[in-house]
Amino acid sequence: MNVQSTLPLRGRPVVALCGGVGGAKLALGLERLIGADLTVIVNTGDDFEHLGLHVSPDIDTVLYTLGGLSDVERGWGRADETWNFMESLGGLGGETWFRLGDRDLAMHVERTRALRAGVSLTDFTTAVARQLGIAASILPMSDDRVETMVITADGPLPFQRYFVGLQCAPVVKRLEFRNAERAAASSQVLAALGNPNLAAVIICPSNPYLSVDPILAVSGIRKALDHVTAPIVAISPLIGGQAVKGPTAKIMAELGVPADSVAIARHYRFIDGLIIDETDRGDAGKIDMPVYVKSTWMRSLEDRDRLAADCLDFAVRLADAERRKVT
């Protein structure tokens, strides 16, 4: 871990934008490195109401990962989960296509109760994060509802029907983030991005189309990023043209975009630098922005720490290069 080179960032805030599993892994590494100086802005386009409950899959993945509760083997949900509720529900002929474990169910019940009592999603998420002992600030991208819709060759599908119910099988024609233009970024999100002492913005290796684009579509967030003077660094979610997890490469192919690091850089035109995997080193010379070639596969806790340190190291290098250019 190149801790020495990240020392200039100590005590300065860092903002990460992320979706579910892949983003949460890097968020954990960042939190282990800088603790309370980290703010994680999380996609809520995946949120939906199921069985009368408000479910926030990406927020819960981040909370469980940073709170030490996640099921590392399965890749989603809580560890040591039991399924009595789902088995009983199935026995009654209820919907079982979206699985809610007994421990996970407690989160959805309590969140739904709080929201109906007038608590904002931001305040509920903050309270749970503190209850779980998480040092970083975990923020939904908005307290307003944004709905990711997958427009397929067979018609429009709510995200979870596409992702979980149909296992990403339908061909994607385009994506819509309904209500994003009317949804407002929370004051906490805008304050984090507008902090004049901000050291870096990290776009985690989440799906650019399904996880990061909904965040960027929320009114105010993209504009706030345009005014950020700190380096904005993204990590490509692709390794050798494939995503470690999820349908990123499949969606890119169906949208007519090459599944490579060059296309990721073009997608994130507003960033200052891109981190790509060593497997894709050959793409570095084709990308019209600073590129940092590192191992981006996070199979262990040490991998998450190392990639987090690499992100901050790259941000320091970009800031130093900008200072030299100005002076």
pLDDT in tens, 192-233: 999 999 999 999 999 999 999 999 999 899 999 999 999 999
What's the average model confidence in pLDDT over 317-321? 90
Please check the confidence at residue 322 and state whether its pLDDT lies above 90: no
How many helices and strands (H and E) does the chain possess?
12, 14
Tokens representing residue 20 in the block: 């579910």
Mean predicted confidence (pLDDT) in 61-80: 92
Q: Are strands 200-203 and 232-235 parallel, antiparallel or unpaired?
A: parallel
Range 72-76 average pLDDT: 82
| CA gap 49, 243 in Å, rounded | 28
DSSP string covering 20-32: SHHHHHHHHHHHH
Structure confidence at residue 246 (pLDDT): 80
Residue 172 near residue 74 (C-beta atoms within 8 A): no
How far is residue 142's CA from residue 186's CA, in Å, rounded to a whole number?
Answer: 5
For residue 3, name the pLDDT band (cuts at 50, 70, 90). Answer: low
For position 175, what pLDDT does the model report? 96
| pLDDT recorded at residue 1 | 46
Contact by Cβ (8 Å): 19, 58: yes
pLDDT at position 93 over 70: yes
Q: Give tens-digit pLDDT for 299-318.
A: 999 999 999 999 999 999 99
pLDDT for 110 beyond 80: yes
Average pLDDT over residues 112-140: 98
Q: How confident is the model at residue 325 (pLDDT cuts 50, 70, 90)?
A: confident
Single-letter amino acid, residue 5: S
Kindly report the length of the chain.
327
Instruction: Provide the pLDDT confidence category of residue 8 given band limits of 50, 70 and 90.
Output: low
pLDDT of 327 higher than 50: yes
- Mean pLDDT of the residues in the chain: 93
Per-residue model confidence (pLDDT) at position 7: 59
Helices 301-326 and 21-34, packing angle to 10 deg? 70
3-state secondary structure of 39: strand
| Number of other CB atoms surrounding residue 177 within 10 Å | 21
Structure tokens that stand for 311 in this block: 């992100």
Q: What is the mean pLDDT of residues 182-196?
A: 96
- Any idea of the CA torsion for 165, 206, 251, 71, to the nearest 10 degrees? -30
Q: Is residue 268's pLDDT more than 60?
A: yes
Q: Distance (Å, rounded) from C-alpha 325 to C-alpha 89? A: 63
The predicted pLDDT at position 324 comes to 75
Query: Is residue 81 scored above 90 in pLDDT?
Result: yes
Is the model more confident about 57 or about 75? 57
Helical ranges in 117-156 per DSSP H: 121-131
Which run of H or of E encompasses 261? helix 261-267
pLDDT band at residue 73, thresholds of 50, 70 and 90? Answer: confident
| Domain architecture of the chain: domains with CATH | 14-47+123-326 (3.40.50.10680)
Looking at residue 205, the DSSP 8-state letter turns out to be S
pLDDT recorded at residue 258: 93
Give CA–CA dist 61/66, Å, rounded: 9
Q: What is the mean pLDDT of residues 143-150?
A: 96
